[in-house]
Every structure is written in structure tokens, then in C-alpha cells.
Amino acid sequence: MKKKTKIIIGILIAAVLAAAGITWYVMNQKNQKTGNSSAEVVAWDVDIEEEEPSEEKGILIPGYTSMVMKANTKEQTVSIGNPADNDCIFVIVLKLEDGTKLFESQELKPGEGLENITLDQELEAGEYQAVIEYKCYSLEDKSPLNGGSAEFKLYVKE
């Protein structure tokens, strides 16, 4: 493997681990009230740290190992967003492993995120395999860029 490829992979792994830890902390510290129905954009930055500085800047993709939602309601409290250090727009899609779309965000500029979202459908209590997909677009002309996706465990609780 080329040195640049190894560095990029290392940065992505560090970003995923940092985002997973922060997500776990935020989800365990938040009040368990259901969020409101609007997907209001908020300031969002998870301080993803790079393992090694590199001359080539890549897209920082937050990763999640798990997410917790409330059963039998479309209104959810989550923390998803576009790291402030990115130079691109994100559209974030949450799906079940079978491809069922649960949510698609509006365009999120660097440093913007969502804390309250409305799902496309309610979920029953249980554990689900889910996917978070990041569609990335240029800030200048909104042309598509490389994106990413990651599987995670979705816990839906009463």
C-alpha cells in the first residue's frame, strides 16, 4: 500500500473511533425526551482528531457503532452532522440494512448538524442493523464527491 493510502486509512479509522466515542457519550448524557419534529440545523463539531498530519486533506466521515432511538414515534433525538474541518456539503441518510430509508437530511455545510429529526416511519422496539450514508458535494458547484457509509447497531427502546 502507498504511504498516502495508509495515512488516509489511519485518519478515517481515527475519525470513526472519535465519533463513536463522542456519540456514545452524548447519547448517554442527553435527556431522554423526544425531540421536536423539525430538523433544525445546529452548530455541530465533534473535534475529530487526525492521527498524523497529512498534506492531502480528505473528507472527515463520522462513524457510529450504535445509535439509540425511541420506539413508536417518528420524532427522534440524535446527533449527526458535518465536521467543521470538511470542505464539502453532506447529505446524511439513515437506512435499515435491508435498504428501508428512515431519514435523509437537508444539505449540511461544514460545522452544521442535526439533533432533532423526524423519521420517515416509526420503528418498533428492538435491535436493528442500520447504515449511515454520507453523500458529499462540492461547496463551490455542488458536484458529487466521494462519500461513505458505515453499518451500526440501532437500538430502539420503549
Name the grid cell of 93.
Answer: 441518510
Annotate 44-55 with DSSP letters as a single string: ----PPPSS--S
pLDDT tens, 77-131? 999 999 999 999 999 999 999 999 999 999 999 999 999 999 999 999 999 999 9
Provide the whole-model pTM: 0.68
